[in-house]
């Protein structure tokens, strides 16, 4: 019972933390966080151009793009690794139980 309560508290803290991250991000955003500072970002359709527009601020786009693409692959690889790890655990348990069944034993 105590363990379940501790888990419940842990889950509640996790959910609070997840909700707090975007809220904190908005609070720490630059001037006038309630409205976007740039209103020229395309919404209706994307217009292609040959050259990069002249830089208007100091926010580093290459770093943001690299972080986005990097995060995608880190998330996917961590997920694949977690499946492999869980599968290995299940296979090990399957072998152990199979051996018990083959030897005619009963688990307690």
Partner 1 sequence: MTNRTFTILAVLAAAMFLYAPFMIVAAPYESTMGLVQKIFYFHAPIGMVMFLSSFVSGIASARYLFGKRASADRAALAAAELTVLFGLIVLVTGPLWARKAWGVWWQWDARLTSALVMWLIFLAYLLLRKYGGPGSDRLAAGVAIFGAANAPFVYWSVNVWRTVHPKTTVVPTLQSGMREPFWFCFVAFVLLYVLLLAMRMGLEHRRAELETLYLETQG
- Contact positions vs partner 1 (CB under 8 A): 4, 7-8, 11, 15, 18, 22-23, 25-26, 29-30, 33, 36-38, 40-53, 59, 61-62, 64-65, 67-69, 71-72, 75-76, 79-80, 83, 86-87, 90-91, 93-94, 97-98, 100-101, 105-107
Q: Which helix (H) or strand (E) holds 69?
A: helix 61-102
Is 31 in contact with 37 (CB distance < 8 Å)? yes
Closest approach, Cβ 22 to partner 1, in A, equals: 4
Closest approach, Cβ 28 to partner 1, in A, equals: 8
Residue 2 or 68: the one with the smaller Cβ distance to partner 1 is 68
In terms of Cα–Cα distance, which of 32, 34, 29, 27 is closest to 59? Answer: 29
Longest CA span, the chain: 76
Closest approach, Cβ 66 to partner 1, in A, equals: 9
């Amino acid at each position: 019972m105590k363990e379940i309560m501790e888990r419940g508290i842990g889950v509640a803290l996790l959910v609070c933390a997840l909700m707090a991250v975007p809220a904190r991000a908005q609070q720490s955003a630059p001037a006038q966080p309630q409205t976007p500072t740039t209103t020229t970002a395309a919404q209706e359709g994307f217009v292609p151009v040959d050259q990069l527009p002249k830089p208007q601020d100091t926010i580093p786009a290459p770093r943001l793009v690299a972080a986005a693409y990097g995060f995608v692959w880190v998330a996917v690889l961590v997920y694949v690794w977690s499946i492999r790890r869980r599968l290995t655990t299940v296979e090990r348990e399957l072998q152990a139980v199979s051996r018990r069944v083959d030897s005619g034993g009963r688990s307690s």
